[in-house]
Every structure is written in structure tokens, then in C-alpha cells.
């Protein structure tokens, strides 16, 4: 995917992927690539929040694609909506190089104790 993470905390995470190499047959960034970037950010942020001896796994994800990226990079900015003891919810806004919103994703993760 070529993902580059530039910021990571429970409250905020930022990463980007190139459009090149992640296109669907019509030449647009594949919708699944938006979701991979978003779910990666939300899951990483949730695992930071979970802390040592615990882990987070996704239980719900929704995505709305509103614009197509055809070149450059797409950047995901993940922001915490809820950081609880057993559930986290993050919103991830994905934008193109011009700062235009391409997709909005929300993920909920459940936190479990490591076995």
C-alpha cells in the first residue's frame, strides 16, 4: 500500500498512501484503499489507547466515498470520538493533495485483555 504514518496517538493519527499502485481499473484510487488506510489508522490509535496487556480489534466500520483521487497521495486524519474502557470510536477523514475530502470513515474497536 505504501503507507507512511506521520503521527500516532490515541487521540489523533495521520498517514498517507500513494494513488499510484492502489488504483482500480478505471484509474481511480480503489475504494478499498481508502478503507485500508482508515481502518489501519483507527486500529492503531485504538491500540495505543488500549495500552500494555490489552489489544483493540474492529467491530464496526462505515465508509462514505465522496470524491475520487486520481494522482498524488491521499492523507488520512484520524480523530477520537470516544475513548472508553472497552470501546473506542474514531472518525477518519481522507483528503487528496488539494485538501479536498474524498472519504469519511468511522470505526469502532472493542478493547480486550491480552491472553
Q: Which residues are catalytic?
A: 39
The answer to whether the beta carbons of residues 16 and 69 sit under 8 Å apart is: no
CA distance 43 to 50: 10
Q: Give the residues across from 57 on adjacent strands.
A: 110
CA distance 95 to 105: 12
CA distances from 113 to 47, 51, 54, 55, 60 (A): 11, 10, 4, 6, 19
Amino acid at each position: 500500500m505504501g503507507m507512511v504514518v506521520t503521527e500516532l496517538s490515541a487521540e489523533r493519527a495521520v498517514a498517507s498512501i500513494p494513488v499510484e499502485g492502489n488504483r482500480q481499473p478505471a484509474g481511480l484510487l480503489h475504494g478499498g484503499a481508502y478503507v485500508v488506510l482508515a481502518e489501519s489508522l483507527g486500529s492503531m490509535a485504538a491500540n495505543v489507547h488500549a495500552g500494555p496487556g490489552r489489544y483493540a480489534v474492529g467491530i464496526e466500520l462505515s465508509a462514505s466515498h465522496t470524491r475520487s483521487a486520481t494522482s498524488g497521495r491521499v492523507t488520512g486524519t484520524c480523530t477520537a470520538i470516544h475513548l472508553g474502557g472497552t470501546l473506542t470510536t474514531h472518525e477518519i477523514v481522507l483528503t487528496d493533495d488539494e485538501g479536498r475530502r474524498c472519504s469519511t470513515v468511522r470505526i469502532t474497536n472493542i478493547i480486550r485483555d491480552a491472553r
